[in-house]
Amino acid sequence: MRFSECGSAGRSEAGAAALRGPLRPWTPSQRRPRRRRARGRIDGGDAIDAQCRCLEAIVAQAFQTSLDQLRSDSRGGAHIAFARQVAMYVAHVWFALSLTEVGRRFDRDRTTVAHACRVVEDRRDDPRVDRVVAAIETAADLGQRLARGLGTDA
């Protein structure tokens, strides 16, 4: 029999039978469980979660936007997207969180966080952007010190 005479269904069935025996119907129990991502961003009770929530509030205030817009699943306008990028950048740089951890806390992928850090670093060449980011970093530092016990450096 030539290749052109075989139907695609016959080839896949024959290949499957050769690999693992007769074809069996698929059942839902065979499906690998998917990890569900919680919406609503950061939840949990540890100090880093509290600091990230505080940081989101600081960034929302600095960029004159709402927390709902900052936490939105959609990108939003460029202004909102940049505000979110600044929040992720400060969480990564100032709180020394890994890209994966920042992504988990902001419900974004680690590659999105890496992109955000690159964008903010590039835009810090503009003195206005640098002043805003520096003010947010100062406020985040104050919040971090308060969370650790009113000004103690650990």
Q: Domain containing 120 — which CATH number?
A: 1.10.1750.10
**b or e along 53-68 (b: 16 or more beta carbons within 10 Å of the residue's beta carbon)?**
bbbbebbbebbebeee
Stated as kind and residue range, the H or E segment containing 144 is helix 127-149
Rounded Cα distance between 146 and 150, Å, is 4
Average predicted confidence (pLDDT) for the chain? 77
Tokens of 3: 């290749």
Q: Where in the sequence is the domain holding 132, given as residue range(s)?
A: 47-149
Position 112 in a domain = yes
- Contact criterion met (CB below 8 Å) for 29 and 126: no
Q: Is residue 42 part of a domain?
A: no
Q: What is the pLDDT of residues 13-41, one digit of tens each?
A: 555 555 555 555 555 555 544 444 444 44
Helix (H, G, I), strand (E, B) or coil at 18: helix
**What does pTM read for this prediction?**
0.66
What is the SS3 string spanning 75-94?
Answer: CCCHHHHHHHHHHHHHHHHH
Q: How many structural domains are present in the chain?
A: 1
Q: Encode the chain (154 residues) as per-residue pLDDT tens digits.
A: 454 444 444 555 555 555 555 555 555 555 544 444 444 444 444 777 888 888 999 999 999 999 999 888 888 889 999 999 999 999 999 888 999 999 998 899 999 999 999 999 999 999 999 999 999 999 988 877 776 775 445 4
Q: Note whether residue 57 is domain-resident.
A: yes
| CA–CA separation, 63 and 57 (whole Å) | 10
Going through 28-121 in order, the beta strands assigned E by DSSP cover none
